[in-house]
Chain A
Amino acid sequence: MKDEVTRDERIDNLKGMGCSRKRVEDARFTQGKGNYVDDIKLDGMLFGDFVRSPYAHARIKNIDTAAALEVPGVLAVLTAADLEPLGLHWMPTLAGDKQMVLADGKVLFQGQEVAFVVAEDRYAAADGMEAVEVEYEELSVIVDPFEALKSDVVLREDTVDENGKPTDGAHGPRNHPNHIFTWEAGDKDPTEEVIANAEIVAEEEMYYHRTHPCPLETCGCVASMDKVNGKLTLWGTFQAPHAIRTIVSLISGLEEHNIRVISPDIGGGFGNKVGAYPGYVCSVVASIVTGKPVKWIEDRMDNLMTTAFARDYWMKGKISATPEGKITGLHCHVTADHGGFDACADPTKFPAGFMNICTGSYDIPTAYLAVDGVYTNKAPGGVSYRCSFRVTEAVYFIERMIEVLAIKLDMDAAELRRINFIKKEQFPYTAALGWEYDSGDYHTAWDKALKAVDYDGLRAEQAQRVADFKAGKTRKLMGIGLSFFTEIVGAGPVKNCDILGLGMFDSCEIRIHPTGSAIARLGTISQGQGHATTFAQILASEIGLPADSITIEEGDTDTAPYGLGTYGSRSTPVAGAATAMAGRKIRAKAQMIAAYLLEVHDNDVEFDVDRFVVKGAPERFKTMKEVAFAAYNQAIPGIEPGLEAVSYYDPPNMTYPFGAYICVMDIDVDTGVTDIRRFYALDDCGTRINPMIIEGQVHGGLTEALAVALGQEIAYDNMGNVKTGTLMDFFLPTAWEVPNYETDYTVTPSPHHPIGAKGVGESPHVGGVPCFSNAVQDAFRPFGNTHTNMPHDHWRIWKTANGLGLHD
């Protein structure tokens, strides 16, 4: 057969890996045709909403729902008393704790769900909420985790025995009624010995403040119980639809095959939509009680006050080094404020998530980490906000400790990083706290970054600026923020990663249609990451059918294979690998079919872009499209008809993307106003599937990092009142505050991933926060500053300047 198309053209036609293919998702979004959960309407659908506690800690003396039930349009009001006979007034959390679905006897945080009003529409539900009368008896409030560990106030009576002594928790002994767990990693005594005997030791305490993912779409669901067929359908903003199905089955007693969970389009997740919330349970119960579909959608205040927060880590570090700057030991202790219930979304075996990657990108021989989880009167549900299970806290910690050590050594922080990086030839590298880093080339990335920004030139400019400031010629200081991070993503290997006991593999099922198009279904669910575009690209390169001929489908548990969902940058490292592996199964079968059609032995054909070619005879080939048709219309001896495959992929290891970020910032000493003059971001996420989408992820992650570092905080007063319950008080940057970013890359493929890809969506957030923070703190370094806590809003920066005497 004569082939008019060149090989390069055939590659281009596939739009496979490496190509900036435009997104197939965009047509519906740009035309207002997205299908988000609040767009779902069912006949007779009701609306549910919560009566929430105005107090952070109070006993509930009485709930009177009579008046609410008289309100026109109100059909039902659920309280804990209604849920108790069903065993649904408490639910298991993702962290081995349990959580009230509706307040049972007392409330533990402001905004806690007290009653669920079900009405014909939102307005009637709001009227019903107004009419529910709840009598509270206020109790003393604890918002400080250190105070909680000393206080006589027992926040959770269910966690102490009849003598008031703490019972053992899910993660071992507890030493105080308000203590949840102590979790340790590394070698305590050797680390303390190294640090005690070191010539140079830098110490610092830092608070990584409580913040919130705040996706633009809040959480919500629609529950529809079909009593005739015994089937429950649940649509919702679920980052892990299959896990939600299993949870619903476990707590409702409905068999899993009778539950269908659907994640439609999701308006941003960032970790906020991983956990299970009382709204899901109450909607399901309300649908069963009323026999009608029930929708529940949070408003923004509900979202900020009550759904999973992020961070809230009080970190204390010691780092030791030789006078030349070679790091010898690292010690870290964390007091973690988990709020009223321990509902953090971490793998079961890691109650403090992956905080134990806190040795970062550095070859630190000895290290020790201990984390104490604590109950307080704040909202529960710590999520890994745009990061993989607390790696953001870990990277912030080590990147601050490096800066503090550089000050102690009176050394350039870029050089200090360089001399301590894990070297290329040390990979795979086992860190002192246990994880095995798959691959890396940190020195190359760092050198490229420093050169790109003319680092030496910037330092010279900064020195001149300090001189000018001291001479009274300017009131603006200049900060150079440095950050080098290693992420730990792709959770993960079933041997060490699970949520609720479910191993964190992921899956892909592919069906090739006779005419050479295909559908692939995955256990993940996109929240804007462009899965429908990139997974088709992986498959196009693997099986030789154009990406435009491949539909990707996710988020429907009736059709998708079981998978653990999308968070922790796990889609590409885990489901992307499953996709490649399922594609290779298709290719293996297709090769046998092609060999039969070409009348040669299986081993005598080889795959080339989009076809199987007889070795040594390039003019003799069968395209994948031809093979697909043959699979359905020809009887081939020894081969079943059809062309389908499924892969459940259990990754052998996590993946370790890394990056080098540099921020140049001007700070007005008199107003505290910051101006980001330049931001350079180099990311190495291994093999790059769609550069356009990677770049977009980097821009977005950096902007969320900017928000966290420079102003975003969930703040409480001493009475446990949330001070930041709306977007008037909670900082989300607009186009006006955000700079342009310069993106760059190196490529160090993961050696254990089928296509070498590592995941990128969270890297810019993880690496960005310390970079912005370091820029602020670096500006004040010449005046004796070592550390100030985030968020660096204008007021706090002004206070730093004032404290350093720069206003005198």
Chain B
Amino acid sequence: MSNKMHIKLNVNGKDEEFLAEPRELLIYTLRERLNITGPHIGCETSHCGACTVTIDGKSVKSCTMFAAQADGKEITTIEGIGGPDDLHPLQAAFKEHHGLQCGYCTPGMITRATKLLEENPNPTEEEIRFGMAGNICRCTGYQNIIKSIQAAAAEMSAAKEAAE
């Protein structure tokens, strides 16, 4: 196929530019082309959320979106959320409250949870369960994931109050 498209993305603050076939899926672009392997492939039907990234401020499942559809957009993956020296409170809370086991869903979970807490800084348990229902975990039974998100929400709210 030769009908390649010119695509520009900004991923985790870095500009990327390349030619891709129209059928190239965004998860493939991230993982194979840009070596960003935090987002994982789990189901390829948008059900499991292992591939969740943030695009222009919204949670998106990158396994069912074409790279071409993301042209010109800003993308954040788990790699852009926090590193060893500047952990996001959610990353710290998932460890503290045993919110992960095999770790395969974790990048998608944390990426989604960052948006959830932006949209709703003090969610109830029910709101967390509903807001995270697009991300499947096969190991934890969710209880400790919810605990982790609640703990991070409390910490982030306290930090915000202290700053004000």
Contact = CB atoms under 8 A, between A and B. Distances in A.
Given A31-B83, A696-B101, A36 B40 contact: yes
Contact of B104 (A25, A30, A36, A735): A36
Contacts of A702: 141
A738 interface: yes
Interface in B86-145: 87, 91, 94-96, 98, 100-107, 110, 128-130, 132-145
A23 B98 contact: yes
Contacts of B144: 696, 699
Interface stretch (A213-221, A251-259, A404-412, A645-653): A213-221
Interface string A289-301: 0000000010111
Chain A at the B interface: SS class: loop
A34 B104 contact: yes
Nearest to B107: A32
Interface residues of A, number: 60
B101 A30 contact: no
A267 interface: yes
Interface string A679-720: 000000000000011011111111110000000000000000
B58 interface: no
Interface string B63-92: 000000000000001110011100100010
Most B-side CB within 10 Å, residue of A39, A300, A697: A300
A738 B142 contact: yes
A696 B98 contact: yes
A503 to B, nearest CB: 28
B16 interface: no
B143 A38 contact: no
Interface stretch (A422-430, A447-455, A527-535, A591-599): A527-535
Contacts of B139: 268, 528, 696, 700
A786 interface: no
B43 interface: yes
Given A32-B107, A736-B129, A696 B140 contact: yes
A726 B48 CA distance: 11
A267 B104 contact: yes
Contact of A700 (B48, B82, B138): B138
Interface in A111-170: 121-123
Most A-side CB within 10 Å, residue of B39, B79, B140, B143: B143
B3 interface: no
A49 interface: no
A741 interface: yes
B96 A38 contact: no
A734 interface: yes
Classify chain B's interface size: 35 or more
Contact of B45 (A29, A300, A734): A300
Contacts of A528: 100-103, 139
A216 B84 contact: no
Contacts of B36: 32
Nearest to A215: B138
B56 interface: no
B6 interface: no
A215 B129 contact: no
A123 B24 contact: yes
Given A26-B103, A38-B41, A728-B45, A741 B141 contact: yes
Given A38-B40, A217-B40, A300-B42, A703 B142 contact: yes
23 contacts: A27-B84, A30-B94, A30-B110, A31-B87, A31-B91, A34-B107, A38-B37, A121-B32, A123-B24, A216-B102, A216-B104, A216-B137, A268-B102, A299-B44, A528-B100, A695-B98, A696-B141, A700-B101, A702-B141, A735-B130, A735-B146, A738-B142, A741-B143
Given A32-B37, A122-B28, 20 more contacts: A22-B96, A23-B98, A26-B94, A29-B107, A30-B106, A31-B79, A32-B78, A38-B37, A38-B40, A217-B102, A267-B102, A528-B139, A699-B140, A700-B138, A700-B140, A703-B140, A703-B141, A727-B136, A734-B134, A735-B135
Interface of A: 22-23, 25-34, 36, 38-39, 41, 121-123, 214-218, 265-268, 270, 297, 299-301, 527-530, 692-693, 695-704, 726-728, 732-736, 738, 740-741
Q: What are the 5 tightest A-B residue pairs by CB atom distance, in nearest-first order?
A: A32-B38, A29-B103, A528-B102, A267-B104, A699-B141
